[in-house]
With several copies, the nearest count.
Chain A
Amino acid sequence: MATTDQDLTTATSMEDRHTPLGLSEEDLKRMYYTMVLARSLDERMWILNRQGKVAFVISGQGQEGAQVGSAYALRPDKDFFLPYYRDLTVALTAGMTARDLMLALFAKAEDPASGGRQMPGHYGHRAHNVVSGSSPIATQIPHAVGIAMAAQIKGEDTVAAVYFGEAATSKGDFHEGLNFAGVLKAPVVFICENNRYAISVPEKKQMSVQNVADRALGYGFPGVITDGNDVLDVYKAAKTAVDRARAGEGPTLIECKTYRIVPHSSDDDESRYRQKVEVEEWKQKGPIERMRQYLRGQGILTEDLEKNIQARVMEEVNDATEYADKAPYPEPDTLTKHVFAERS
């Protein structure tokens, strides 16, 4: 695994890095497809926003690698996923569909996360153990610890994976959660997508350590730095962490060094705080590009397959968009539903 930013170089070696990790070609294709789907959905969301069709977008572009690389190490529908608002790819990996995400974007009644109640990006799906998230940063971290603690108490081998940005690590809930998890040796994996900015605030104003992973030193469990744009590097760390957790050896903090290549949200003007050239540089090092290169090098991604993937993705995105666009909004009188359990 990479240990400093300088180590985050584009993988060019032709060596097979996936087989030793227990990943088949099918796995790789699935991961790749999910990333491409996430990116295309994400791009479509911005288009819909620019067209005035949806009020708000918050985006995961650039962070798909960190997301799929980590989420793929968990068991869908069995382990718990606590994504944050950039985690389209986590949501898809956990079992949510393109339609699910588009329904949320359009704030439609059928949105499985919230029925159109929350802003887009607030993932959730009970059937897939994707826990409903809120907007206040870092509050999901204690939930993940509690989920893991419950697994310990019940004697189940469930693992909880919780996601957040680097700025979330400044918050009390991060500290209290990791500290408690350390004491409990709870089966939880903390995954930080360090994209270098909190809206406009750069990481050096967020913390005075070089790596988010360094923070694990205060909690008595491993902190691991990964090249967040290298799916396999992230997967390797996540798999190790999940195995550790399931074996009762306790939590891991995984830092994925990555970058968001779009503005913070559709309300953000990024020119106030960063240069175009910096963004362009990172686009070159993007996780999808990196994986494409790897798959081509391994002879897994042929030109035909690539075309086929693009076509299937487009179809899925179009279908989801159309479906969500046509779906009905929540009825006004449902406003007062689900405050408490309905009386029987």
Chain B
Amino acid sequence: MPVKTIIQTVRDTLHEEMARDETIMILGEDVGLAGGVFGATKGLQAEFGEMRVMDTPLAESVIIGAAIGAALNGLKPIPEIQFADFILPAFDQVVSEAARMRYRSNGTWNVPMVMRVPWGGGIHGALYHSQSVEAFFAHVPGLKVVVPSDPYDTAGLLRSAIDDPDPVMFMEHKKTYRLVKGEVPDGDRYTVPIGKAEVKREGTDVSVFAYGLMLYNSLQAADALAAQGVSAEVVDLRSLQPLDRDTILESVRKTGKALIVYEDNLTGGFGAEIAATIAQEAFDSLDAPVRRLAGPDVPAMPYAHTLEDQFLPDIEKIATEIRLLAEY
């Protein structure tokens, strides 16, 4: 089986899907001639033409808004937002329009669209090229929010997102783009269902819930602790909306202890929802407080590496939290 990076997987999957389904189109800034600032659409314009792989004006609200229109008229648009930070000017179109179209029309109109949103930090992107925006969107009924962490899931979830009749925010962690490699079956159009978490590492003492880059930090922390006799279970959430409450609760019922790791700001981050769910639904199984480890409550991740490093929950901080829980 070929081994690919995440960014290569995104690109190849888009390529296959566009060849398979001619209603798919891509639009965004620099996605055409340049193939995207991360290369996710490299070569696609040459193959599928300027209308199906379209460089747009610099205007996120109309990128999403026009994609909504295209979806209403029978296409399956895949807008790319260059950096997650820049989806905020399109917030009204995403929240008031895409997410509410089906509901407000009593199920008669719908918006099948996949918004590709590169997010996350650790890449010296500073305040405006590092942000986590999942909490904003996973709070919005009518939107699906997926956060694949490895190449296999990236292909499988991207296909599911494309097959979905409703708007899906497809969040790709920038730092993992080239860092993470994995096997991706060729030829087989397999899918990974939206809304299913995956236990990436089984354990018995503490459950750790993460996604994106934090998944890898958590896995490494768990590895380090195994040597010290602490058995941490690590769950890759993969999808935040819908959230796989069953898998989460099952894990907590087994270990009795939960740590949620995310790089977004702590307060009001989506980890709060996971903690609240556990606190309500698994109370009787809990042997320790539900703990969260997250980015601090500062506007965003600074540029200077001294500050950027300090911002991110690293392996050591995660290991400390797990140990704390294990010893509780």
User: Does A touch B (CB under 8 Å) in the complex?
Assistant: yes
B139 at the interface (CB under 8 A from A): no
Contacts of A136 in B (CB 8 A): 85-86, 88-89, 92, 96, 128
Q: What distance in Å separates the Cβ of B78 from its nearest Cβ neighbour in chain A?
A: 13
Cα-based distance from A176 to B104 in the complex (angstroms): 24
Would you call B52 and A153 a contact (CB within 8 A)? Answer: yes
CB under 8 Å from chain B, chain A span 189-216: 198-201, 205-207
Interface string of A93-135 (1 = CB under 8 A from B): 0000000000000011101111111110010111000011011
Number of interface residues of B (CB under 8 A): 74
Nearest Cβ in chain A — how far from B43, in angstroms? 11
Task: Establish whether residues A56 and B100, one from each chain, have CB atoms under 8 Å apart when the complex forms.
Answer: no
CA distance A61 to B140 in the complex (A): 36
- A206-B57 Cα distance, complex, nearest whole Å: 5
- The listed residue (B30, B65, B107) touching A145 by CB distance below 8 A is B65
Pick out which of these stretches binds chain B: A17-25, A164-172, A290-298.
A164-172
- Determine if B306 and A331 form an interchain contact, defined as CB atoms under 8 angstroms apart: yes
Docked Cα-Cα span, A126 to B65, in Å, equals: 18
Near B by CB (< 8 A), chain A positions 243-272 give 267, 272
Q: Is the CB–CB distance between A142 and B304 below 8 Å?
A: no
Determine if A176 and B302 form an interchain contact, defined as CB atoms under 8 angstroms apart.
Answer: no
Instruction: Determine if A222 is an interface residue (Cβ-Cβ < 8 Å).
Output: no
Judge whether A6 is part of the interface by a CB distance below 8 angstroms.
no
Asked if B297 lies at the interface with its beta carbon under 8 angstroms from chain A, I say: yes
Whole-angstrom distance between the Cβ of B52 and the nearest chain A Cβ: 7
- B72/A131 in contact, CB under 8 A: yes
In whole angstroms, how far apart are the Cα atoms of A193 and B103 in the complex? 28
Chain B residues contacting A282 (CB-CB under 8 Å) are: none
CB <8 Å contact, B29 and A180 = no
The CB with the most chain A CB atoms within 10 A, among B29, B32, B69, B100, is that of B69
Question: Is A52 at the interface (CB under 8 A from chain B)?
Answer: no
Given contacts A107-B304, A117-B303, A340-B142, contact A180 B105 (CB under 8 A): no
Give the distance to chain B from A50, nearest Cβ to Cβ, in Å.
16
**Docked CA distance A111–B106 (Å):** 9
Residue from the list B69, B85, B104 in contact with A117, Cβ < 8 A: B104
Is B228 positioned at the interface, with any CB of A under 8 Å from its CB? no
- Is A33 engaged at the interface, CB distance under 8 Å to the other chain? no
The verdict on A276 contacting chain B, using a C-beta distance below 8 Å, is: no
Cβ of B56 within 8 Å of any chain A Cβ, yes or no, is: yes
Q: Is A321 an interface residue (CB 8 A)?
A: no
CB contacts (< 8 Å) of A341 on chain B: these are: 102, 110, 164-166
Which one of A80, A113, A143 contacts B65 once the chains associate, using CB atoms below 8 Å? A143
Q: Given A112, A171, A273, A333, which contacts B58 in the complex, CB threshold below 8 Å?
A: A171
Which chain A positions have C-beta within 8 A of B129?
119, 135
Q: Which residues of A contact B75 (CB under 8 A)?
A: 150, 153-154
Q: State in angstroms the CA–CA spacing of A337 and B102 once bound together.
A: 10
**Which positions 147-201 of chain A face chain B at CB distance < 8 Å?**
147-154, 158, 160, 167-168, 170-173, 176-177, 179-180, 183, 198-201
- Cβ contact within 8 Å between B102 and A139: no
CB of A266 to closest CB in B, whole Å: 11
The residue on B at minimum CB distance from A177 is B62
Please determine whether B303 and A118 come into contact, CB atoms closer than 8 angstroms.
Answer: yes
Minimum C-beta distance from B244 to chain A (A): 15
B72 lies within 8 A of A134 (CB) = no
Does A205 contact B55, Cβ atoms closer than 8 Å? yes
Give the contacts of B86-127 with A (CB-CB under 8 A). 86, 88-89, 92-93, 96-97, 100-110, 124-127
By the criterion CB–CB under 8 Å, are A146 and B104 in contact? no
Give the residues in chain B near A167, CB-CB below 8 Å.
57-58
Chain B residue, CB-CB nearest to A265: B37
Contact A150 B57, beta carbon cutoff 8 Å: no
Residue of A nearest to B241 (CB): A340
Indicate if the CB atoms of B33 and A273 lie closer than 8 Å: yes
Would you call A144 and B69 a contact (CB within 8 A)?
A: yes
CB–CB A114/B29 < 8 A: no
> Does the CB pair B307–A330 fall under 8 Å?
yes
How far, in whole Å, are A92 and B140 apart by their CA atoms in the complex? 33
1/0 contact string of B284-319 vs chain A (CB within 8 Å) = 000000000000111100111111011100000000
Q: Tell me the complex Cα distance, A179–B62, Å.
A: 9
Residues of B within 8 A of A28 (CB): none
A13 within 8 A of B: no
Determine the residue in chain A with the shortest Cβ distance to B49.
A153
B185 within 8 A of A: no
Contact of A207 among B57, B72, B142 (CB under 8 A): B57
Q: Which of A107, A150, A153, A200 contacts B34 (CB 8 A)?
A: A200
Residues of B within 8 A of A80 (CB): 72-73
A299 at interface (Cβ–Cβ under 8 A)?
Answer: no
Q: Which of B55, B57, B124, B311 contacts A335 (CB 8 A)?
A: B311
Nearest CB of B to A104, in Å: 9
Chain B 151-189, CB within 8 Å of chain A: the 1/0 string?
000000000000011100000000000000000000000
Question: CA–CA, A273 to B29, complex, Å?
Answer: 13
Give Cα A143–Cα B62 distance, bound, in whole angstroms.
8
A309-344: which have CB < 8 Å to B?
329-342
With beta carbons under 8 angstroms apart, the residue of B58, B62, B306 that contacts A201 is: B58
Report B's interface with A, CB cutoff 8 A: 25, 29-30, 32-35, 37, 51-52, 55-59, 61-62, 64-75, 77, 85-86, 88-89, 92-93, 96-97, 100-110, 124-129, 141-142, 144, 164-166, 296-299, 302-307, 309-311
Q: What are 22 sample pairs from A and B whose C-beta atoms fall under 8 A apart?
A: A107-B303, A109-B304, A114-B105, A115-B107, A141-B65, A143-B66, A143-B68, A146-B68, A146-B70, A146-B77, A151-B73, A171-B59, A172-B59, A172-B89, A180-B66, A198-B58, A199-B30, A272-B35, A335-B298, A338-B106, A339-B142, A341-B164
Sorted nearest first, the 5 A-B pairs with minimum C-beta distance are A146-B69, A142-B65, A115-B106, A135-B128, A146-B66
